[in-house]
A and B are shown apart, each in its own frame.
Chain A
Amino acid sequence: MIIQILLSFFLLFAVSRVLLQLRSANLSVGEFLFWSILFLVALTGVLRPELTAYAAEILGIGRGADVVIYVSIALIFYLIFRLSIHLEETRHEISELVRKIALKEIEKERRK
């Protein structure tokens, strides 16, 4: 089917981007494994859709497509949560830096 071909090319492209990011040291080994496995599992599901139907049967869900949607939604929410944590940590680091600069400045002024 056309959609299988298009999705397969897209997912192979995604895996190639993940490899490039690893080589540029923009991804840790853990992150590389996570994204590679995710895209390869997705590729498997696209090329062998009967596997999603098998998973649906085991999980007691109606259709393979429904399994894909439920898992995707859960994963997306988890990733948003993790991103929010990272964002808060980055905010905190910026504030710490601003604080250090501010306290250094007041010490300089006092010495003048």
Chain B
Amino acid sequence: MKLLVVIPAFNEGEVISSVLTRIPKKISGISQISVLVVDDGSVDFTAKTARKAGALVVRHEINRGLGAALATGFRYAKKKKFEALVTLDADGQHDPKNISKLIKPILKKKVDVVIGSRMNQQGYMPISRKIVNWFSNLFTWALFGIWTSDSQSGFRLFNKRAIEVIQLRSERMEVSSEILKEIRRNSLKLQEVSIKSVYTVYSLRKGQQLSNATSVMWRLLLQKFS
């Protein structure tokens, strides 16, 4: 099975190298692992550092947002006929070693999408993130009728069928909820797997904040009713 690791990145020059070097070179059941960094209009040395670390880099000339970067990753995977796609964050929040945990249900052909859930982890998660996540889960369920314990997790794995049918229109962070909408729309089978996130001062600066919650909700409402 050919696996593409998609890492959307915006000004992650400081940490991208350490994320890339931790991606396993071999995973049981996977014949080929390719790594694609989608540089979303970074103004630092993200692209250069990622190339140096051996990743393929596709670069947006201007910043379009997380959703647009993931859609580019999906487009690449479809074009190059990858059989599985895993997304993970560029800020070091996700441990790439957990890819083997996410891939197991896909290899057993039980499910189409696996989400790494941070909610059951033993360890620290900032209370503000827990609040944002809980409201996001509720909002996603209310709009799109699908409940997960961690709708905003950036650590997700998709099989070939999911890669083919998922269509992303979101530009920014509302993409996490849109992915669940697409899972429901296409009747894809979903499973959650517990993962542990690593929160550092750096990674806490990034990611979803309470302050952008209203704009995310507004764009999801527009998607629902347009």
Residues of A within 8 A of B (CB): 84-85, 88, 91-92, 94-95, 98-99, 101-103, 105-106
Kindly list chain A residues whose C-beta atoms are within 8 Å of the C-beta of B226. Answer: 85, 88
Q: How far is the CA of A7 from the CA of B169 in the complex (A)?
A: 43
Kindly list chain B residues whose C-beta atoms are within 8 Å of the C-beta of A106. Answer: 56-58, 76
A95 near B171 with CB under 8 A, answer: yes
- The 14 sampled A-B contact pairs (Cβ below 8 Å) are A85-B226, A88-B223, A92-B171, A94-B64, A95-B64, A95-B65, A98-B60, A99-B72, A101-B61, A102-B58, A102-B61, A102-B72, A103-B72, A103-B76
- Per the 8 Å Cβ criterion, residues 188-226 of B in contact with A are 218-219, 222-223, 226
Residue of B nearest to A98 (CB): B60
**Closest-CB distance, A84 to chain B (whole angstroms):** 6
A103 near B58 with CB under 8 A, answer: yes
Interface residues on B, range: 20 to 34
Q: How far is the CA of A105 from the CA of B65 in the complex (A)?
A: 19
A98 near B58 with CB under 8 A, answer: no
- Per the 8 Å Cβ criterion, residues 55-99 of B in contact with A are 56-62, 64-65, 68, 71-72, 75-76, 79
Q: How far is the CA of A88 from the CA of B215 in the complex (A)?
A: 12
Residues of B within 8 A of A (CB): 38, 56-62, 64-65, 68, 71-72, 75-76, 79, 169, 171, 218-219, 222-223, 226
**Closest-CB distance, A106 to chain B (whole angstroms):** 5
Kindly list chain A residues whose C-beta atoms are within 8 Å of the C-beta of B222. Answer: 84-85, 88
Kindly list chain B residues whose C-beta atoms are within 8 Å of the C-beta of A88. Answer: 171, 219, 222-223, 226
Q: How far is the CA of A63 from the CA of B79 in the complex (A)?
A: 63
B60 near A99 with CB under 8 A, answer: yes
**Closest-CB distance, A103 to chain B (whole angstroms):** 6
Q: How far is the CA of A102 from the CA of B57 in the complex (A)?
A: 9
Q: How far is the CA of A92 from the CA of B65 in the complex (A)?
A: 11
A105 near B171 with CB under 8 A, answer: no
**Closest-CB distance, B56 to chain A (whole angstroms):** 7
Residue of B nearest to A102 (CB): B58
A105 near B58 with CB under 8 A, answer: yes
A105 near B59 with CB under 8 A, answer: yes
Kindly list chain B residues whose C-beta atoms are within 8 Å of the C-beta of A99. Answer: 60, 68, 71-72, 75
Residue of B nearest to A88 (CB): B222
**Closest-CB distance, A104 to chain B (whole angstroms):** 10
B79 near A98 with CB under 8 A, answer: no
